[in-house]
Amino acid sequence: MEAPIGVIDSGVGGLTVAKEIMRLLPNETIYYIGDTARCPYGPRPRHEVRNFTWQMAKALEKKGIKLLVIACNTATAVALNSLQKYFSVPVIGVVNPGARAAIKHTKRHEIAVLATQGTIESGAYEEAIASLSSSAHVVPLACPTFVPLVESGEYKSTMAARIVAAGLQPLKQASFDTVILGCTHYPILQSYIEKTLGKQVTVLSSAEETAKDVQGILAQRGELATGNPQHKFYATGSVPIFKDIATDWLALSNVAVERIQLTSND
């Protein structure tokens, strides 16, 4: 089926998820909304994140998507369950795919989760992991300096290495063998995270696992696309800034970006 896959995110970070979907499913069209005007969601109260996430989902529903991906971990953590109840198309988040991959991988049954404050406070990863395994133990860590670091553009500097090492300091005494990058931005810092944690630890990104989930669901429903993709991107904030980052990250030459206004009552 040629209807687009909807992807929603607090901003540009969800492009890490969109990119994995494009790589695994090159025929699929993606309609992406980034709420760049109200990013970041990580430090916001949960009712606000839930409200914003609903607004994006409804805007894409109107455009006729066949499946909705909540690419933002913070939005998934607080809004996935309610969106799944309301929407008739399948709605998938990034938390369960990451949790499932970690359970499959861990030998010590000890998994660290790195995420924003909102995701960590929600307990969503602990809940997802507990529902998959009764023996797995979770070490949660909020890394509030990581999103600002990536968004500052200084993510390749020696300062970045130091900020990552400092942020991961609380994990020093823990004995996990698997880490979930429970935030859209963290794959950008993956090599620093791996260097800090050492070779005994495997770092998994939710983005890649989520793309596999999308593939599985569409295949099962007989809804995989076969044509040429025609992606569309919508930003609530600056169109040129969004376009620059998307062009760079997705390595595409003609990224179609439009401004979108989100309101609560439609």
Q: Which tokens hold the place of 115?
A: 């995420």
Q: Are 114 and 187 in contact (CB under 8 A)?
A: no
Residues acting as catalytic residues: 72, 183
- By residue count, the chain amounts to 266
**Residue 188 touches ligand I24, criterion: CB under 6 A:** yes
List the single partner that 138 binds among ligand DGL, ligand I24, none, CB under 5 to 8 Å by kind: none
Identity of the residue, 148 or 216, whose beta carbon is nearer to ligand DGL in the bound complex: 148
Q: Taking the CA atoms of the chain, what radius of gyration do you get in angstroms? A: 18
Residue 10 is classified by DSSP as S
- Does the bond joining 4 to the residue before it have cis omega, within 30 degrees of 0? no
Three-class SS state of 137: strand
CA end-to-end span of the chain: 27
Identity of the residue, 42 or 167, whose beta carbon is nearer to ligand DGL in the bound complex: 42
Rule CB under 6 A: choose which of 218, 242, 255, 260 binds ligand I24: 242
List the single partner that 204 binds among ligand I24, ligand DGL, none, CB under 5 to 8 Å by kind: none
Three-class SS state of 134: coil
Give the residue carrying structure tokens 């933002």. Answer: 72
Q: Which tokens hold the place of 224?
A: 């995989």
For 88, phi and psi rounded to 5 degrees? -85, -20
Rule CB under 6 A: choose which of 5, 7, 8, 15 binds ligand I24: 15
**Residue 13 touches ligand I24, criterion: CB under 6 A:** yes
Q: Which tokens hold the place of 76?
A: 């998934």
Q: Which stretch binds ligand DGL (CB under 6 A): 69-77, 236-244, 246-254, 255-263?
A: 69-77
| Binding stretches for ligand I24 (CB under 6 A) | 11-13, 15-16, 36, 150-151, 153, 155, 185, 188, 237-238, 241-242, 245, 248-249
Query: Which stretches of the chain bind ligand DGL, using CB under 6 A?
Result: 9-11, 13, 39-42, 72-74, 116, 119, 147, 183-185
Binding site members for substrate:
9-10, 41-42, 73-74, 184-185
* Residue numbers belonging to the annotated binding site: 9-10, 41-42, 73-74, 184-185
